[in-house]
Amino acid sequence: MKKTLTMLTIAALLPAGAALADDDDCSVPRTQWQPREAALQVAQDNGWTVRNFEVDDGCFEIKGRDADGREIEVKLDPATMQVVEMEYEDDDDDDDDYGTAVGNPAPAGTVAPPQNGLFGTGTPPKVKVN
């Protein structure tokens, strides 16, 4: 019964994923958390292969592949096992930037540094990683 409920909840939530995307943290007290096995059960029910399981921003986070073999990252509410966020890792247009990959800043050297009063000249910074 619980399983059916969980499945139903997920089915209901998946299309609404985009609307929930900006609220991808969980804030349920630990005392109300279900065991990680519950999350792994959700994964199994959905046909996901789990590569990595951890707690992130208070949510259960599963990384792995979906039934079609696409790389996924899914956040679950640790109490209700509802999907809080689902991302395809091969998709840059994920929910976090609301469907636009546009918005990444221009790399150094392609445009002048911003005129924020900090830079003495328009010379681009030189960077070395050792």
Partner 1 sequence: MKSLLSTLVLTTALTMPGLAMARQVTLTTNLTSYGGDGAYLALYVTDASDTYVGTLWMAGGKSKYYNHLTGWYRATGGDTAQVNGITGASVGAGRSLEITLDLADALFDAGYTLHIDASVEDMRDSPNEVSVPLTSGGRGTLVKGRRYIADFSYDM
Residues in 80-99 at the binding interface with partner 1, rule: CB under 8 A:
94, 96-97
Binding of partner 1 by 1 (CB under 8 A): no
Q: Which of 4, 27, 31, 130 touches partner 1 (CB under 8 A)?
A: 130
Phi, psi of 104 (to 5 degrees): -75, 145
Binding of partner 1 by 30 (CB under 8 A): no
- Window 46-75: contact mask with partner 1 (x via CB under 8 A): --------x-x----x--------------
Instruction: Say how far apart CA 124 and CA 73 lie, in whole Å.
Output: 36
Instruction: Please give the structure tokens belonging to residue 110.
Output: 């392609």
Q: DSSP assignment, residue 96?
A: G
Bridge partners, 75 (sequence order): 61, 85
Q: Which residues bind partner 1 (CB under 8 A)?
A: 54, 56, 61, 94, 96-97, 103-114, 116-121, 123-130
